[in-house]
Amino acid sequence: MPSLPSRLLGALAFLLFIARPAPAIAQQAPALRLYTLDCGHAEFQDFAAASDTGAYDGRKAVLADPCFLIHHPKGWLLWDAGLPPQLPAALAGLPGFRVWHERSLAEQLAAIGLRPEQVGYLAFSHLHFDHVGNAALFDRATWILQRAEVDWAERSPAPVSMLPELFAGYRKATVRWIDGDADVFGDGSVRILKAPGHTPGSSVLLLRLPQQGAVLLSGDLYLTLEGRLEHHVPAVNADRAATLASMQRIEQIAQRLHARLIIQHAPEDFERLPRPPAYWE
Ligand SMILES: [Zn+2]
């Protein structure tokens, strides 16, 4: 019969074993690639809307608006669909606001040897018009949607910066509804992390790339490099306290995983990323 101390040790080991939560994020990375596509740029003569503290009042700004294409052994995922090729009249006429595209999204997919219908999954950091502009190209994909985001985006009257016609394609597509975090391919390598505040269903994408390591695509959690340092909350924002809490969560994850955080609208981050056919892996 085992001695009392060894039985205690055994019980303790058992407790530790059963009490240990399943690893939230897998350690081993499958073959993954991250492509960065240019889905437009925007210029503001006055970027006041980027902070509710007045930090950007009177300051000019140029924003990148990338789409990200992820190749996983189980399929292709597009994260965010950029600015619409044609701005709706209401936005095109706004003074001090200009949008341009250098290349179409379809053209950039072709450079990778891909047609839109080969993209199997579509997910968004949130549904503002500058993140869903090309969504209609992907009506054959499975759309991964935060329920809270769609509920909010389809309210009447539409919240500022929401143009429901741009993401209406989900009605005819296959939809995977999510409420919070989601593991896209079931192996921890591509995870959607809920980061509400900017909008109720705002999310960040966490990738575990085999060479580059952990990468966070931060959606509109931050709009500028300075905004990350100063915790700027945009003037157009659904919930200030939730935004600050999301920043805290994502920063803790970034720190724990030594992740590279990409601020999607920051031209500085965009310029550092390779262009197709080059990619990160
Ligand atoms: Zn936004």
CA–centroid distance, residue 8 to ligand 1 (Å): 55
Cα–ligand 1 centroid distance for 109 (angstroms): 24
**CA dist., res. 47 & res. 45, Å (int):** 7
pLDDT of residue 91: 83
pLDDT at 92: 83
Distance 222 CA to ligand 1 centre (A): 9
Calculate how far, in angstroms, residue 131's C-alpha sits from the geometric centre of ligand 1: 7
Q: How far apart are CA 177 and CA 180, in angstroms?
A: 10
What integer pLDDT is reported at residue 94 of this predicted model?
87
- From ligand 1's centre to the CA of 43, what distance in Å? 15
* Cα–Cα distance for residue pair 234/47, rounded to 1 Å: 10
Structural domain spans, the chain = 28-272
- What was the pLDDT predicted at 9? 46
R_g (Cα) of the chain, nearest Å = 21
Give tens-digit pLDDT for 65-104: 999 999 999 999 999 999 999 988 878 888 899 999 999 9
pLDDT on residue 24: 46
In the reported structure, the alpha carbon of residue 39 is separated from the centroid of ligand 1 by a whole-number distance in angstroms of: 15
Taking only the tens of pLDDT, the chain with its 281 residues reads 444 445 544 444 444 444 444 444 444 546 899 999 999 999 999 999 999 999 999 999 999 999 999 999 999 999 999 999 998 887 888 889 999 999 999 999 999 999 999 999 999 999 999 999 999 999 999 999 999 999 999 999 999 999 999 999 999 999 999 999 999 999 999 999 999 999 999 999 999 999 999 999 999 999 999 999 999 999 999 999 999 999 999 999 999 999 999 999 999 999 999 999 999 99
Q: What pLDDT, on a 0 to 100 scale, did the predictor assign at position 23?
A: 42
| Chain centroid offset of residue 55 CA | 24
Q: Report the length, in residues, of the chain.
A: 281
What is the whole-number distance in angstroms between the Cα of residue 207 and the centre of ligand 1?
21
161 Rama sector, left if φ>0, alpha if ψ -120 to 50, beta otherwise: left
The pLDDT value given to residue 228: 98
Which pLDDT does position 14 carry in this prediction?
A: 43
Q: Number of helices (H) and strands (E) in the chain: give both, helices first.
A: 7, 12
How many whole angstroms from 15 Cα to the centroid of ligand 1?
Answer: 45
Residues whose CB is under 5 A from ligand 1 (ion)? 128, 220
* pTM of the complete model beyond 0.75: yes
What would the DSSP string read from start to end of 154-189? T-SSPPTT--GGGGGGGGTSEEEEESS-EESSSSSS
Give residue 30's pLDDT: 63
What is the reported pLDDT for 256?
A: 98
28-272: CATH topology: Metallo-beta-lactamase; Chain A (3.60.15)
